[in-house]
Amino acid sequence: MHHAQDSQHCNLAEREGPQAQREARDGDRAQVPLAKKAEAAATAAMEVSGEGAQSSPQSSQRASIPPTVMGSILGGPSDEASGNQVEQREEPVPPVLDVLRPKISGLVQFLLLKYQRKELTTKAEMLERVIRDPGEHYSLIFSEASQCMRMIFGIGMIELNPFFYSYVLVTSLGLTYDGMMHGTQGVPKTGLMITALFLIFTEGNCITEEKFWSVLNKLGFYAGRDHFIFGEPRKLFTEDFVQEGYLEYRPIPNTDPAQHEFLWGPRAHAETTKMKVLEFFAKATKREPQSYTKMYAEALRDAGERA
């Protein structure tokens, strides 16, 4: 590993404590492609809502997103150690991606540090500091790392200068909160919050806590059990995101024992739209937003009411 990259990687581990250090050691052993787990969440949510019935297994594009190498974040050692029985139907990782595993992983770590420091980056810097290979694989490495940043951490890359290939990293969907101060500090959690907003939307703008966790379990998140990167997820969803105004968590009347449900909070309504959330996850499943007929119609109504 390049000395500068190694220094950046160590600094990230030091900031985030022993759990992140374990992730850094175990990341290359992960077998579950990261972006495909995000796609699985989108597909699972569509199936729960009934939207997934519109497409056949062949057209659901389960294999549409290329596998990435950062699977440890959403289902690596913690799932194996706890004996979670999460069914995996993953296609074999193409040999070229397996070879590029360390460089994609290193680039994700590098981009996370750039985001934390609010610094721009360029193609030249990524090549020099991390990839160190100007050959034909740069586009694939960059694409895979960008997909991880977007789908898992909720961080998008915006090209500022097409001539110098300079980029700025920003939170997705216009959200102003990154969650870095909650759960495991230093790790952006916008992606988790976007997932929650999407699940609520799929269920007609309100989802029971039981159904919510049935989908999150497919991603390796379990209420009351620390996720070795993001921290304790139940607190994130029922307290931290609620306090920030992005989620509403309220009791369901006349339930015994008492049950709860999730809704969008006022800050979510103010900062983003249903159409943006739908487009975000439609891209993950390689489908057009219009193919999700009921959700698209709801998103159009929402846009009309905002006009």
**Do both 215 and 133 map to the same domain?**
no
Bigger pLDDT: 65 or 91? 91
Residue 87 in this model has a pLDDT that exceeds 70: no
**Do both 162 and 198 map to the same domain?**
no
φ, ψ at 164 (rounded to 5°):
-105, 0
pLDDT at position 17 is 42
Total domains in the chain come to: 2
pLDDT tens digits for 247-275? 999 999 999 889 999 999 999 999 999 99
**Do both 128 and 197 map to the same domain?**
no
Distance between CA atoms of 301 and 307, rounded to whole angstroms?
A: 10
**Do both 163 and 24 map to the same domain?**
yes
Could you tell me if residue 229 is left (phi over 0), alpha (psi between -120 and 50 degrees) or otherwise beta?
alpha
Residue 184 in any domain: the answer is no
Mean pLDDT of the region 31-41: 48
**Do both 28 and 166 map to the same domain?**
yes
Strand partners, 171: 155
**Do both 148 and 276 map to the same domain?**
no
Mean pLDDT of the region 14-41: 43
pTM over 0.95: no
**Do both 84 and 22 map to the same domain?**
yes
Show which of 111, 144, 174 is a domain's final residue.
174
- What band does 74 get if pLDDT is binned at 50, 70 and 90? very low
Three-class SS of 45-114 = HHHHHCHHHHCCCCCCCCCCCCCCCCCHHHHCHHHHHHCCCCCCCCCCCCHHHHHHHHHHHHHHHHHHHH
Peptide bond into 57 cis (omega under 30): no
Mean pLDDT of the region 223-236: 88
Show which of 149, 174, 199 is a domain's final residue.
174
Residue 116 in any domain: the answer is yes
Bigger pLDDT: 265 or 186? 265
CATH of the domain at 225: 1.10.10.1210
